[in-house]
Structure 1
Amino acid sequence: MDQETFKKVKKRDEEAFLYMMGLYKNTVYYTALTYFKDEEKALEAVQEVTFRAYKNCHKIKKVYAVKAWLVRITINYCLNEIKKNKRFKQDEDYIENVPKTDDDHTTSFLLSDAIQSLKPKYQTVIVLKYQQDMKNQEIAESLSIPEGTVKTYINRALKELKAYMKKGGFDEHESGQLFQ
């Protein structure tokens, strides 16, 4: 997004705002889907994040921070919804539709399950780092924590994920390859 469009977004220009959301709607959707494992809830999250973003778009400080800002709104929304429901609920249809013969999909599902076993702060950094391809500095800015803390969280999360996968029958070599 260029600087001129960014200025319009900050002034709540609807056309500029819709353009911005068009650029990042997939990021918002897939971040929410990672947390909810439910397409309907992920779509609801996109709607809610769009509303919250529009309401607060005047607060964005830098054009390069827009993606991180939207991801942070999404994660906060998802974690609040999960907290409201007291636990992570998985849609049984989603589980039944995971292909049993396709190793990539099965591995992806197991990895997703492993990520869900982490503390929310570790889930967040893993999602941002490996699913949203954000740099450590961007994650730190997005979460308002020091970059060193991001590195620590990633390191601890990866250790926990390796241990989880090892318990699930993956050998050390296989689980190590998943988290590089």
Structure 2
Amino acid sequence: MTTTYLKSCYHLSDSELIVRITEMKDDSCFSILYQRHYKRVYRHCMTYVKDADWVEDYTQSVFLQVYQKLSQFKNQSSFSHWLSVLTKNYCLNQFRVQKRTQTAISEWCNASYVYDSTDDEQDNFETLTHVLKLINVQDRTLLHLKYEQGYSLKEIATQYNVRTSTIKMRLLRARRAVYLYAKSSQSL
């Protein structure tokens, strides 16, 4: 698409742009929606998260969701309202995931050995994120399924086509790995 074409689309309403994107498969119009609403989404995310890097990540993720869910927009309310709801839900969902992750920290290992009680929640989350990158992918996946996604041991065992006791042992080893990495990173 040419710059001239995009300039000709700037006058279109959000609803008209959405029709072009969803029905006419004109993805170039998405950049116009992005430009129009970026600052609003950024400010909305900023009300939930104060760190500029996280806000930027959240904003990008919201627009990725918008792109993926644009066909679900039914024009029953304004696009701005739909976008605000999507942004709010995304941010709240990130808090839920973070809370589940922080709860998982306590379940995975003895938190008093891993974290200084004076650390704030964001530091704990960043430490966990770092530690999870250090363990092997299989362990990380199991921990993710159990503690973030909330799958039961039986559901995970079915997925892996193994016995429940095997999953219990693998989760024990994964938690132990998290504990050891966290403990060693704290002593550095």
Q: Do they fold alike, i.e. is TM over 0.5?
A: no
Q: Shorter-normalised TM-score: what interval? A: 0.3 to 0.5
Scaled by the length of structure 1, what TM-score is found? 0.45
Scaled by the length of structure 2, what TM-score is found? 0.43
